[in-house]
Amino acid sequence: MNIAARENFDKVVKLAIRSTGLIVIVLLGGIFFMLLYNAFAFFLKVSPMDFITGTQWTPSGKLASYGILPLLVSTTLVTIGAMVLAIPLGIGTAAFISEYAGKRLKNILKPAIEMLAAVPSVAIGFLGIVIVGPFLAHLIGQPNGLNALNGAILLSVMALPTIITVTEDALRGVPNSYKEASYGVGANKWQTLIKVTIPAAAPGILAAVMLGIGRTIGETMTVLMATGNAQAFPHGFLGSVRTITATIAIETGEVPYQTTHYFALFAIATVLFIMTLAVNIVGEYFVNRFRKYHSA
Amino acid sequence: MTNDLIKLSAQSVNLWFGSKHVLKNINIEFQQNKVTALIGPSGCGKSTLLRSFNRMHDLLPDVRIEGKLMLEQQDIYEKNTSVTQLRRRVGMVFQKANPFPKSIYENINYGLKINDVPKEERDGIVEKALRESYIWEEVKDELQKPATRLSGGQQQRLCIARTVALRPEVILMDEPCSALDPLSTLKIEELIIKLKKDYTIIIVTHNMQQAQRVADKTVFMYLGEVIEMGNTDDIFNNPKNELTGNYVKGRFG
Ligand SMILES: Nc1ncnc2c1ncn2[C@@H]1O[C@H](COP(=O)(O)OP(=O)(O)O)[C@@H](O)[C@H]1O
Ligand SMILES: [Mg+2]
């Protein structure tokens, strides 16, 4: 190739790379625009106030009602439940790996946890139906265990790999000198972990939790399979719930094009999008702060 | 008036990191209420020796120690020796000032809590330790400020205060001034000289003037061995060993 041809080739490659980057941005913008556009169409027919405060989601029939509250409460319930389980377990596991486990155990645990992240959500949902659900049903004496608690348990399993990996990074990033200072005044390993290492890693741990929450809010297949999807307003962890994601998955297939119901699904999708976006931004913020803090 | 009690000693101590033989047959004694300087070229094992006296090597996986290290009559590596008790008696100040990312007050209070000092005594001890470390006047109005906002010299004096607060018997200092400006260095040297009436101090230093200013005794190490030890004056002005002479005159290092 002569020089001119080489330079032209270089230009083409540059253009190709730049346009792939552009495509991603355009896609993201497009999705957001489509959501907003359709949500807007929905709010022309139903007032935002009714949407936000309505306690019933019954989108079909003459007396259709589009209250997002039952869905929002369902999503929140399952997410909080999952976090209550996953946060202590995740931080505990991460602390064990970074501070206590020997080299060999570490070499087994870390890939195992990464593998857990690779299990498809439909497989986890299946476990919820055939194992966790019946177990819960037996425990609480109900005909089936397809409820919020079931969903929370499964989602906690799915959030664990993220929480463990990011928390472990954060703990490992705590300067050794802090630990030495703590041992130097006579602290033992446990005291050092609880009072020095974990507080110093707090921003990173918070980021881990945020990323875990993001994963949980958006998860669809597992909750669809495991939580029963009752349309009634949620009654707590032992009752069936229907999350925003499950609602969209169930109803999108059958809804007539460009009806109020159709637009309503976009409206709740927008709410979901904003929720995950907010969680991710907060998480990202803490990840960055954590990096700065440790490079200083 | 001389107090010749041997506070700390090592007998035939050898230490390996993995297969690397780092301390070779160390025999050494440190006298009570004296400042002893450990000098020698980089990598000769000064920090390693220092850290074996408060068992900081326990934290590493591949370390093997042979021989006997004694704190007065107590065998430091004996099975029944409580390592947390030991570290309270043998305090340490590190090369790089390492305050906790907590408030100034909490930096000292932490060790007190860990060692179950009753709550009502803590304020007094914190103040006393800060006074003894000549930093009280500078921080008394901002005890709740993050310690990381102090200057390097102040941070190091805070770390000394943190150690002093626990009333150890021995204070190990690993190049405590290496990251400090000359003025802060002088302040810390004054502090060391004042602390010596209550503590036995071992200080690793690369600074020959510093060794002569603060130390009663000096130990010269080379390639993991103790080459010579004695009164600081003798080591610097009348070394018996040629290597020692060359080192203190700055011919290598
Ligand atoms: N944790 C460790 N693992 C392996 N080798 C080490 C470790 N710490 C120190 N060493 C080695 O031991 C030798 C002595 O180190 P050190 O005691 O830090 O020297 P000094 O403080 O005199 O400069 C050096 O060769 C160093 O590389
Ligand atoms: Mg050193």
Which ligand lies nearest to the CA atom of residue B59 in the structure? 1
Name the closest-CA residue to atom 4, ligand 1: B17
**Chain B: residue nearest A188 by CA?**
B84
Give the one of A175, A185, A188 whose C-beta lies nearest to B111's C-beta.
A185
Lookup result for tokens 């941070």: B155
- Say if the Cβ atoms of B115 and A196 lie within 8 Å: no
DSSP strands (E only) in chain A: 57-58, 65-66
Is the pLDDT at A291 greater than 70, yes or no? no
Substitution target in A174, A185, A191, A195 with the highest count of B β-carbons within 10 Å is A185
Give the one of A179, A180, A188 whose C-beta lies nearest to B84's C-beta.
A188
Query: For the ranges A88-97, A232-241, A286-295, B37-46, which has the lowest average pLDDT?
Result: A286-295
Average pLDDT score over residue span A20-41: 94
Q: How confident is residue B253, by pLDDT bands cut at 50, 70 and 90?
A: low
Å from CA of B63 to ligand 1 middle: 11
Name the closest-CA residue to atom 21, ligand 1: B47
Integer Cα distance of A106 and A172 in angstroms:
13
* Ligand 1 nearest atom to the CA of residue B17, by list position: 4
Under 8 Å CB pairs connecting chains A and B tally to 65
- The whole-angstrom distance between A116's CA and the closest CA on chain B is 29
DSSP string for residues in B11-78:
EEEEEEETTEEEEEEEEEEEETT-EEEEE-STTSSHHHHHHHTTTGGGGSTTEEEEEEEEETTEETT-
Superfamily covering domain B6-100+172-248 = P-loop containing nucleotide triphosphate hydrolases (3.40.50.300)
Å from CA of B94 to ligand 2 middle: 10
Residue B149: DSSP 8-state:
G
What residues in B contact A182, CB-CB < 8 Å? 100, 110, 114
Q: How confident is residue A63, by pLDDT bands cut at 50, 70 and 90?
A: confident
B91-120 pLDDT, tens digit per residue, is: 999 999 999 999 999 999 999 999 999 999
Q: What is the strand order of the sheet B63-71 is part of? A: B20-31, B6-17, B63-71, B74-75
Domain boundaries, chain B: 6-100+172-248
Pocket lining for ligand 1, CB < 6 angstroms = B 17, 20, 22, 40, 42-48, 60
Average pLDDT score over residue span A60-83: 93
Name the closest-CA residue to atom 2, ligand 1: B17
**Chain B: residue nearest A195 by CA?**
B110
Is the pLDDT at A294 greater than 60, yes or no? no
pTM of the model: 0.85
A191-213 pLDDT, tens digit per residue, is: 999 999 999 999 899 999 999 99
- Say if the Cβ atoms of B59 and A191 lie within 8 Å: no
Give the one of A180, A186, A195 whose C-beta lies nearest to B88's C-beta.
A186
CATH architecture of A57-295: Orthogonal Bundle (1.10)
E strand or H helix that includes residue B10: strand B6-17
- The whole-angstrom distance between B90's CA and the closest CA on chain A is 8
Vertex A127, ends A122 and A133: CA angle to 5°?
Answer: 120
Give the one of B54, B91, B114 whose C-beta lies nearest to A187's C-beta.
B114
Domain boundaries, chain A: 3-45, 57-295
Give the one of B56, B88, B91 whose C-beta lies nearest to A180's C-beta.
B56
Q: What percent of chain B has pLDDT over 90?
A: 89
- Substitution candidate for ligand 1 out of B16, B17, B42 with most atoms within 8 A of CB: B17
Greatest pairwise CA separation for chain A in angstroms: 80
- Say if the Cβ atoms of B162 and A175 lie within 8 Å: no
Is the pLDDT at B239 greater than 70, yes or no? yes
ipTM: 0.91
B61-81 pLDDT, tens digit per residue, is: 899 999 999 999 999 999 999
Q: How confident is residue A296, by pLDDT bands cut at 50, 70 and 90?
A: very low
* Ligand 1 nearest atom to the CA of residue B204, by list position: 21
What residues in A contact B88, CB-CB < 8 Å? 185-186
B201-235 pLDDT, tens digit per residue, is: 999 999 999 999 999 999 999 999 999 999 999 99
Å from CA of A124 to ligand 2 middle: 53
**Chain A: residue nearest B171 by CA?**
A184
Average pLDDT score over residue span A218-228: 94
- Kindly list the distances between the CA atom of residue A268 and the CA atoms of A253, A264, B21, in Å, as whole numbers in the listed order: 16, 6, 67
